[in-house]
């Protein structure tokens, strides 16, 4: 990749790689996942293959190994300077992108690969879904139809969680969200206890807060990230994948009597497609255009998928 020949590439804040160029950066990073592992990790309607892991995720794992080591060295240097003998500082990775892009699969595969490094670090994965306001709150605030928009999250609780993890606090709790009941699970939480690496996955993890009129600094979640990934795809592909997933869920999870979406289980094909497209257009596409996609230029790494869910281009932010 000779960026010197492309004036636009020189001005871009990113190094751009074709799939084959990126795959060549794997070097000797070992493949530690089996097909059985991958089947367990991938999400519904996300046909990730072992070849995809080798071409995309192993080079990423190698890059992150270098970044984590360098960042930990920097933290230790700062601690020595300050005379602070505090514990380790977790490395936090943010994963953002649209509904149906495949963020969950990407995050779970990353977690599996990173946790299998030779020094077997402790790698935790948390999604921002747990920080959505409960449906009752969203309903009372008129936000139920904007679920997934930035204002539908308890930003204070999410910021506090990430801040505590980054500070090395013990037993930090995150709420649990159920995709079956489409709501926060009362009384349930997951406990994060000083991981080496935390992956935080969600639609708007790269968003920034609006500034104040008096110019005061306001912290936002991405302030605490060491590395960020944005999973990108064309709107038409995202819509198609969303509808395909909806159709599969109609025949599976939606039939659970406790499912919030039980009302969709008995729709015929035409009705189901129309309903899915309506949900996509009114909620997910609007959120993508207004809130999610504008955060892409803030990512450390952009992975762009083609129509078949295959990552075709990689963009790595220049240091």
Q: Report the alpha-carbon distance of residue 267 to residue 275 in Å, rounded.
A: 9
Beta bridge partners of 231: 97, 303
Cα separation of 238 and 265, whole Å? Answer: 22
207-262: pLDDT as tens digits: 876 544 555 557 789 899 999 999 999 999 999 999 999 999 999 989 999 999 99
Burial class (CB in 10 A: 0-12, 13-18, 19+), 80: exposed
Cα distances from 288 to residues 92, 116, 208, 240, 281, in angstroms, run: 24, 33, 15, 15, 10
Terminal Cα-to-Cα distance of the chain (whole angstroms)? 17
What pLDDT score was predicted for residue 203?
A: 94
Residue 212 confidence (pLDDT): 47
Q: Distance between CA 242 and CA 74 in Å, rounded?
A: 42
Q: Report the alpha-carbon distance of residue 77 to residue 182 in Å, rounded.
A: 45
* pLDDT at residue 235, rounded to an integer: 98
Q: Dump pLDDT digits (tens) for 262-275.
A: 999 999 999 999 99
Domain limits at 162?
A: 3-209+216-317
Report the DSSP pairing between strands 301-305 and 311-317: antiparallel
pLDDT at 93: 97
Pick the closest to residue 238 from 276, 181, 199, 183 (CA basis).
276
**What CATH number is associated with residue 274?**
3.40.50.300
| Residue ranges of the chain with per-residue pLDDT less than 50 | 211-212
How large is the greatest C-alpha to C-alpha distance in the chain, in angstroms?
67
Number of domain units in the chain: 1
Q: Give pLDDT, residue 9.
A: 57
Give the residue from 147, 164, 95, 167 showing the smallest Cα distance to 126.
95
Give whole-number Cα distances, 247 to 2, 98, 259, 275, 281, in Å: 44, 19, 15, 10, 16
DSSP state of 189: E
């Amino acid at each position: 990749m000779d960026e010197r020949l492309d004036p636009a590439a020189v001005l871009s804040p990113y190094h751009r790689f074709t799939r084959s160029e990126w795959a060549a950066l794997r070097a000797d990073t070992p493949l530690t996942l089996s097909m059985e592992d991958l089947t367990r990790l991938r999400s519904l309607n996300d046909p990730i293959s072992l070849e995809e892991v080798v071409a995309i995720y192993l080079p990423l794992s190698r890059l992150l190994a270098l970044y984590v080591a360098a960042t930990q060295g920097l933290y230790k240097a700062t601690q020595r300077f300050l005379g602070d003998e505090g514990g380790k500082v977790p490395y936090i990775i943010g994963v953002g992108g649209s509904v149906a892009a495949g963020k969950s699969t990407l995050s779970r595969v990353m977690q599996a690969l990173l946790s299998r490094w030779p020094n077997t670090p402790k790698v935790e994965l948390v999604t921002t879904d747990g920080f959505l306001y409960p449906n009752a709150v969203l309903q009372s605030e008129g936000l139920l139809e904007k679920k997934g928009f930035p204002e539908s999250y308890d930003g204070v609780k999410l910021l506090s969680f990430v801040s505590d993890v980054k500070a090395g606090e013990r037993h930090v709790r995150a709420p649990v969200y159920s995709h079956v009941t489409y709501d926060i699970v009362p009384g349930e939480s997951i406990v994060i206890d000083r991981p080496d690496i935390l992956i935080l996955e969600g639609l708007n993890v790269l968003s920034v807060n609006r500034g104040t009129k008096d110019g005061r600094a306001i912290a936002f979640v991405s302030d605490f990230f060491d590395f960020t990934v944005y999973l990108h795809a064309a709107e038409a592909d995202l819509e198609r994948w969303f509808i395909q997933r909806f159709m599969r869920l109609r025949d599976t999870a939606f039939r659970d009597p406790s499912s919030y979406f039980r009302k969709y289980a008995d729709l015929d094909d035409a009705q189901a497609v129309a309903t899915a497209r309506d949900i996509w257009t009114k909620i997910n596409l609007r959120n993508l255009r207004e809130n999610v996609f504008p955060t892409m230029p803030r990512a450390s790494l952009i992975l762009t998928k083609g129509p078949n869910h295959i990552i075709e281009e990689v963009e790595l932010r220049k240091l």
